[in-house]
Amino acid sequence: MDGAHDMGGVAGFGPVRPEPNEPVFHAEWERRALAITLAMALPGGWNIDTSRFARENRPADDYLGMSYYQIWLAGLERLMQDRHLVEADELAAGKVLHPAKPVAKILTADEVPAVLRRGGPTERPASQPALFAVGDRVRAKDIHPPTHIRLPRYVRGHVGRIEAVRGVHVFPDSNAHGHGEDPQWLYTVSFNGTELWADAPDPLLEVTVDAFEPYLERA
Amino acid sequence: MLPLRSASLDSAAGYPYFRAMTDHEHHHDHHHDHSELSETDLRVRALESILIEKGYLDPAALDVLIETYESKVGPRNGARVVARAWTDPAFRDRLLKDATPAIGELGYAGRQGEHIVTVENTPELHNMVVCTLCSCYPWPVLGLPPVWYKSAPYRAKAVKDPRGVLRDFGFELPATTKIRVWDSTAEVRYFVLPMRPEGTEGWSEDELAELVTRDSMIGTGLPKRPDQVQRSEGTS
Name the pLDDT band for B151 (thresholds 50, 70, 90): very high
The answer to the question of residue B6 being in a domain is: no
Task: Give every CB contact of residue B118 below 8 A, 6+ residues apart in sequence.
Answer: B95, B96, B99, B102, B190, B191, B192, B193
DSSP A75: H
Domain final residue pick, B70, B85, B102: B70
What distance in Å separates the CA atoms of residue B102 and residue B83, rounded to the nearest whole number?
13
State how many domains chain B has.
2
| pLDDT tens per residue, range A46-86 | 999 999 999 999 999 999 999 999 999 999 999 999 999 99
Cβ burial of A129 (10 Å; 0-12, 13-18, 19+) is exposed
Exposure b/e, A30-61, CB count within 10 A at least 16 = b: bbbbbbbbbbbbbbbebbbbbbbbbbbbbeee
Q: Are B157 and A6 in contact (CB under 8 A)?
A: no
φ/ψ of residue A164, rounded to 5: -155, 150
**Can you give the C-alpha Rg of chain B in angstroms?**
20
Give CA–CA dist A45/B208, Å, rounded.
43
Q: How far apart are CA A35 and CA A51, in angstroms?
A: 14
- Between CA A179 and CA A147 the distance in angstroms is 12
Q: CA distances (Å), A167 to each of A43, A127, A185, B215, in order?
A: 30, 11, 6, 29
What residues of B are in contact with residue A158 (Cβ under 8 Å)? none
Q: What is the pLDDT of residues A156-192, one digit of tens each?
A: 999 999 999 999 999 999 999 999 999 999 999 999 9
CA closest to A88 among chain B residues? B47
CB contact under 8 A, B159 and A154: yes
Tell whether B27 and B129 lie within a shared domain.
no
Pair B118, B65 in one domain: no
The torsion angles phi and psi of A178, rounded to 5 degrees, stand at: 75, 20
Q: Do A55 and B163 touch (CB under 8 A)?
A: no
Candidate from A9, A35, A206 with C-beta closest to B62: A35
B39, B97: one domain = no
User: B166-199: b or e for each residue (b if 16 or more CB lie within 10 Å)?
Assistant: bbbbbeebeeeebbbbbbbbbbbbbbbbbebbee
Contacts of A68 in chain B (CB under 8 A): 17, 135, 147, 150
Percent of chain A clearing pLDDT 90 (strictly above): 98
Q: Are residues B156 and B107 in the same domain?
A: yes
| CB of B42 less than 8 A from some CB of A | yes
Q: Does B125 touch chain A (CB under 8 A)?
A: no
The backbone torsions φ and ψ at residue B209, rounded to the nearest 5 degrees and listed phi first, read: -60, -30
Same domain (yes/no): B86, B195:
yes
Task: Note the helical H segments in A119-206.
Answer: 172-175, 193-196
Mutate to test the interface with B, among A7, A49, A61, A89 (most CBs of B within 10 A): A7
Show which of residues 61-120 on chain B sit within 8 Å of chain A, judged by CB atoms.
Answer: 61-66, 68-70, 74, 109-115, 117
Residues B52 and B138 in one domain: no
Residue B118 has phi, psi (to 5 degrees) of -95, 135
CB contact under 8 A, B115 and A123: yes
Between chains, do B44 and A56 touch, taking CB under 8 Å as contact? Answer: no
Closest CA relative to residue B135, chosen from B148, B121, B149, B114: B149
- Give me the CATH number covering residue B109: 3.90.330.10
B63 and B139 in a single domain? The answer is no
Nearest to A9 among B55, B156, B188 (CB): B156
User: Nearest 5 degrees, angle CA A52-CA A54-CA A57?
Assistant: 100
Cβ within 8 Å of residue B136, ≥6 positions away: B112, B184, B185, B187, B189
Q: Is the reported ipTM for this assembly greater than 0.90? A: yes
- Domains in chain A and their CATH numbers? 28-118 (1.10.472), 123-218 (2.30.30.50)
Backbone φ and ψ of B196, nearest 5°:
-70, 130
Which of A118-127, B16-25, B39-48, B128-137 has the weakest average pLDDT?
Answer: B16-25
Which residues of chain B are within 8 Å of residue A6 when distances are taken between CB atoms?
132-133
Q: For residue range A33-50, what is the model confidence (pLDDT) as tens digits?
A: 999 999 999 999 999 999
Give residue B18's pLDDT band: very low, low, confident or very high (50, 70, 90): very low
DSSP B130: E
B111, B155, B215: residue with CB nearest A7: B155
Domain membership of residue B10 (yes or no) is: no
d(CA B177, CA B173): 7
Closest residue by Cα to residue A193 from A9, A49, A56, A25: A9
Q: Which of these three, B70, B99, B128, is where a domain ends?
A: B70
Please report the sign of the dihedral spanned by the C-alpha atoms of residue A176, residue A177, residue A181, residue A187. negative
B205 and B115 part of one domain: yes
Residues B119 and B56 in one domain: no
CA distance B215 to chain A (A): 10
Q: Tell me: do B49 and B111 sit in the same domain.
A: no
Do B84 and B56 lie in one domain? The reply is: no
Closest CA to B117 of B182, B25, B166: B182
Q: Give the end of a domain, one of B52, B70, B88.
A: B70
Of B33, B24, B10, B63, the residue nearest A107 (C-alpha): B63
Residue B131 in domain: yes
Average pLDDT of the residues of chain B: 87
Residues B129 and B159 in one domain: yes
pLDDT at B233: 54
What's the whole-number mean pLDDT along residues B170-180?
Answer: 95
Candidate from B65, B153, B220 with C-beta closest to A38: B65
- Banded model confidence at residue B230, pLDDT cuts 50, 70, 90: confident
What is the span of the domain harbouring residue B158?
A: 74-228
